[in-house]
Amino acid sequence: MRKKAQQEAEQPVIRNTRYNEGTDSLVFALGGLGEVGKNMYCIQHQDEIIVIDAGVRFPEENLLGVDYVIPDYTYLIRNASKIKALIITHGHEDHIGGIPFFLRVVRIEKIYAPRFACALINRKLEERKMTKRTTLVEINADSKIQTQHFTVGFFNVIHSIPDSLGLYIKTPNGSIVETGDFKFDLTPVGINADYQKMAFIGSTGVTLLLSDSTNSEVEDFSISEKEVATQILDITKNVKGRLIIAAFASNLHRIVQILQAAIACGRKVIVFGRSMENIVDIGQQLGHIKIDKRHFLAPEDLDHIAADRVCILCTGSQGEPLAALSRIANGSHRHIKIYPGDTVVFSSSPIPGNATSINKTVNSLTRAGANVMTNSVFSSLHTTGHASREEQKLMLQLIKPKYFMPMHGEYKMLKMHKNTAIETGMKAENIFVLSNGDALVLRNEEVFNADVKIITDDIYVDGNDSSGLSTAVIKDRKILADNGMVSVIVTIDSRYNKILCRPSIVSRGFVFIKESQSLLKEAELVVYDALRKTMANKTTFSELKNCIKNALEPYLFEKTKRNPIIIPVILNMKAASVPNYRAAKMKGELSPSGR
């Protein structure tokens, strides 16, 4: 009994409260909780909403043909007149990738973003001819955004991309700090974090902290970017042949280190991969990359320079099939072939789920004769841009929040971040592990679980379609991938309500036809019997199609335990179609072809 009572005492008390739209402030996420990516956080008070970030998530392997996953914007569409600002913390795709899709459904007058993110967003909007849909406003750590109910300030944080900001938001019911993506690096490349400003904000009393949880499972401090730079410089000095380095295109600090190491070792640089070329171009325009153009090569120059004087910087560190490195590995790149003596360096760590693709690329490169180097305990070729557990503790100690909501991470990451906060002295009942659509109420500097649930879901983007209509198409693709397709072809004469011959069944991806002839013949008889009963009375093409599906689906599942997509095809005698075409078309029973 004593043990049970102790366990009950350790359980946090969930305090639900009714949301008062007139006086309370509301905090919720449309993306970023229970997942890595698709970040979108909202703060609302009366008739004002501030939106923080508008990202995408890249699809898992089972989402066939999906290009991006974005949040469901329904709530913001319905409350579009209340949106006073879209504020961007930094320029990674999981924070800015959804902006073009968001702008299609909601009019945003101004997007506030730091300098490097502004350049990336502007290029993204130019490609889609959407620059006139909004105004980009550049912000930095000294900027201030004022609305009727909100005051927003900023502070510098360290991340793997320049100009990354955290937010300090004053609401009528208390103050909120949103860290964005961050880490602490005591020997940083670029601008240092605003430790003093963070500590000052913490000393004023912060009601609620929203903090990055991505690396909650990683202990200790992450290694410094300068340590990675030293390792890359050593490799560049010692490699005798061509050097090919694959990295995340968005990690500009790493790209700068690679370029500087190549120049220091007398190598010319050539850049491959559209996203890498864009980042290098923008980095040069904004002054982050201060390397003269004479140090860069054009593709046609590769055949006229010694191998030990070349450094190739490319995309494909995650084994993406269409990225430059994958095409180099499989021999389909039009400018580069792997030769024995080439050295390929993966300056990255595998994103969960990408290990198989990376191993495939590594094996192809090795088979072609390249020496492949990947990040490991023996070589510091990559460091993360997200805070590890000790760095998360430091942020908690600097901000000293009264309440805490872990964000930006899968559920396990959020849960572990909660445990980390408890280690620093926070009460368990003051920490909220939420899902997308859950909401918190701020009232007089107190925080409660709200009794409201915001509409939220994953919307699949297939090509340029972000309407959500592709979701049904994706489901069909999954059924096709798992169970295949069965097409039933039936020939009838609608004049006499008669089947002219036994149905014919064609299968793709369902069963091996040569070994399943008896199954398909029996299936044809099942359909034939069902159609004869249906056509004993007057019927329509739509009813015939439903008859075919209703008869065949249970039969095939009983025999195979699988549910393929069933496509009925009804062929009507031409002599029957022509006289009755106009009447049938008016009733909606015939397609224009008369079938």
Unique residue bearing structure tokens 């557990």:
389
231 with 257: CB under 8 angstroms?
no
Angle at 277 between CA 273 and CA 282, to 5 degrees: 155
- Cβ-Cβ contacts under 8 Å for 122 (sequence gap 6 or more): 131, 136
47 has catalytic annotation: no
45 has catalytic annotation: no
Distance CA 164, CA 157 (A): 6
Catalytic residue among 45, 386, 408, 417: 386
How many other C-beta atoms can be found within 10 angstroms of the C-beta atom of residue 434?
19
Residue 79, classed as helix, strand or coil, is: coil
State the pairing for strand pair 83-87/110-114: parallel
Distance CA 52, CA 360 (A): 38
Q: Which residues of 549-563 are buried (b: 16+ CB within 10 A; e: fewer)?
A: bebbeebbeeeeeee
Distance CA 310, CA 302 (A): 8
**Phi and psi (nearest 5°) for 124?**
-65, -40
Catalytic residue among 212, 342, 458, 462: 212
121 with 114: CB under 8 angstroms?
no
Compute, in degrees rounded to 10, the torsion defined by CA atoms 35, 38, 43, 46: -120
What is the Rg, in whole angstroms, of the alpha carbon atoms belonging to the chain? 30
Extract the tokens encoding 358.
């990376």
**Catalytic residue ranges:** 212, 386
